[in-house]
Structure 1
């Protein structure tokens, strides 16, 4: 890879801070400047699109906790994490977790709906099976919808009517026999 030098003048206190950080990271000025420039362009690429501002207030205690976290982050990772990067990272992480939870909830709802439909189909099949058994048993036994005390044949009904007619033959009124009426 071909390289080219960059020279610039910066304030002495900033130069001292950079030099100290380079010593701590066991790096070089070239690597440090390259890293800073790459971070600048990478960050610039992500914020070049349309952006919106979010502003909110936090308690003093929470603000100090964030500051302490960012200082520890810089000590441990030898890289400064800005408040903006920190908050955006938290928001992105929370949104990813929420998407996973939403997908899991939607999958569970779809599974519950499928189970409910399957259970409903099973109940319908059981009801249909019971109705088929009733129809089948009536057909198999030759039963029709007749009362249990009804005569079994037309001959028996005719005989019952004849008995009643003989009993009432002497009356001028209409012949009536309770047994014959039930038989008809």
Structure 2
């Protein structure tokens, strides 16, 4: 009986030491490390918010529907209507008739809006991202919008083309993924250039 009690006390003492160690690590060190990382990268930790004229106009990480304004660059389509609560894909079959018709309709619309041939409209212009909130488009999609944006924004074609070039981000680590253009950041600079 005495050895059983001794074993129990020993087990409780070991458990208490583990509990205290985990409390210190998970209750103090880990939150402190996360807080320090958040302060070191404050813009990212706070949601990568964008400001125009001193007011917050959105996050550079979540696409905004600008399809009604011909003076701005348009993002990819959104199956969730650019609503963070309804984000996600359409769940349509990639070979189904419905998605095929939707892509053809969108391709014709984009070609007409931008005054280009349907053959040059890139795939990302006619398809939604997995989340429906991706603010990135291909440089090709941005380039076919330059004429329309220049004409409607009052800026020169070369000024708009320079903004696209400025906002074209290279591949991750130089080899992973594709070049992209963040439409939110591009439109923010475009609005600032118009003022």
| Range class of TM-score, shorter chain | under 0.3
* Higher percent of residues as strand: 2
* Higher percent of residues as helix: 1
**Structure with higher RCO (Cα < 8 A, 6+ apart):** 2
Q: TM-score, normalised by structure 2?
A: 0.24
Select the structure of larger CA radius of gyration.
Answer: 1
